Amino acid sequence: MMFAVAIIAVLIALTLAVVRALAGPTAFDRLLAANNIGTSAIMLLALFGFMTDRPEFLDIGITYVLLNMIGTLAVLKFFRYGALGHAQDLNRDSDPR
């Protein structure tokens, strides 16, 4: 019963995050909402695994956590540099050590 209440609470949070992703005025608001959607989906997966006594869902959740983190870092790098493959500026005076 408690897992069902927790799943409903996470579904409400997920719905609010989707609304924020659609209405967010800036790209960073949308990115934060997308990250929140991924986290909520992982929480739903873990809660469902606990509710059905299937611990395999936690392994899948850990994989989704890593994908969510890497995806967020990739999008942030794209926002900062304009591309995912950023070459160093060779015209700078730098110490070769």
Task: Give the tens place of pLDDT for each residue, 63-94.
Answer: 999 999 998 888 888 888 877 775 655 455 55
What CATH number should be reported for the domain whose range is 2-81? Answer: 1.10.287
DSSP 82: S
pTM for the model stands at: 0.73
Closest by CA position to 67, among listed 22, 20, 26, 34: 34
What is the torsion angle, in degrees rounded to the nearest 10, for the CA atoms of residue 12, residue 16, residue 17 and residue 18?
100
Instruction: Judge residue 58's burial from the number of C-beta atoms within 10 Å of its C-beta, 0-12 exposed, 13-18 middle, 19 or more buried.
Output: middle
